[in-house]
Amino acid sequence: MWGGRTGALLRVWGLWPAGVLGRRPLSCNAASVAGSSSPQCWNCGGPGGPMRGDGFFCPQCRALQPPDPTRDYFSLMDCNRAFRVDTAKLQTRYQDLQRLVHPDFFSQRSQTEKDFSEKHSTLVNDAYKTLLAPLSRGLYLLKLHGVEIPEGTDYEMDRQFLMEIMEINEKLAEAQSEAAMKEIESIVRAKQNELTDNVSRAFEQGSLVGVDLRSHV
């Protein structure tokens, strides 16, 4: 079963932010989207089929088609379904898709296409934001594996890890120089990298600890 400690590890990104220069103490405290053409075009009635732009448009009349409710974020953003994601490639894909479906490009089209464009653009935004951040990406992967972690749920963490958080908070409160802040940021980034490797390895090996998530709620 997928869950347990990995759910807790994924919460780490709420505990260890990417940058700490703002000196805010660390707190202890994603399905589908557009891209596939429908079996039959809503506009001309012709058969749908893949073409330039991942089949967003009818190959016959070029009308924008509705979002595909069966496509997950990884497929939409052309990423492998894995915890590690090439963020540069992800950003390029996001920009390419928005050039295809953004509402600004459909101001002179039919109301139906305007509506579809709004839905496509929103879903592309959601997919990009979800896969860009390690925390939301990991939680979305768990969801695809049938494990959902309720928002606001706190997971048990070992005492050593909580002590590390407390030490970081104390250093943040006491830091008086730019050098001290950079040292703290370096520590946090190293911890992030370590935990990213642990979570990625767990997903790749399918070895997320077999603990019923409900036992941690």
Selection from 38, 37, 39, 41 nearest residue 51 by Cα: 37
* Cβ-Cβ contacts under 8 Å for 134 (sequence gap 6 or more): 10, 13, 83, 192, 196, 199
pLDDT, residue 133, reads: 93
- Domain extent for 83: 71-143
Selection from 87, 89, 84 nearest residue 196 by Cα: 84
> With 90 as the cut, is the pLDDT of residue 26 above it?
no
Residues β-bridged to residue 57: 64
> With 80 as the cut, is the pLDDT of residue 111 above it?
yes
Q: How far apart are CA 161 and CA 176, in angstroms?
A: 25
Specify if 75 maps to a domain.
yes
Instruction: Provide the pLDDT confidence category of residue 99 given band limits of 50, 70 and 90.
Output: very high
Specify if 87 maps to a domain.
yes
What average pLDDT does the segment 9-37 reach? 40
pLDDT, residue 150, reads: 65
Specify if 130 maps to a domain.
yes
The pTM of the whole model exceeds 0.75: no
* Cβ-Cβ contacts under 8 Å for 19 (sequence gap 6 or more): 185
Specify if 107 maps to a domain.
yes
Specify if 197 maps to a domain.
no
Condensed to tens digits (0 to 9), the pLDDT of residues 120-169 reads 999 999 999 999 998 899 999 989 988 877 665 555 556 777 788 788 88
pLDDT, residue 132, reads: 96
> With 90 as the cut, is the pLDDT of residue 24 above it?
no
The better pLDDT of the pair 8, 144 is held by 144
> With 50 as the cut, is the pLDDT of residue 107 above it?
yes
Specify if 105 maps to a domain.
yes
- Please count the structural domains in the chain: 1
Specify if 13 maps to a domain.
no
The better pLDDT of the pair 42, 38 is held by 42
Condensed to tens digits (0 to 9), the pLDDT of residues 154-212 reads 555 567 777 887 888 888 888 888 888 888 888 888 877 787 777 777 777 766 544 33
> With 50 as the cut, is the pLDDT of residue 105 above it?
yes
Specify if 120 maps to a domain.
yes
C-alpha distance from residue 79 to each of 147, 156, 180, 203 (Å): 21, 31, 38, 15
* CATH of residue 98: 1.10.287.110
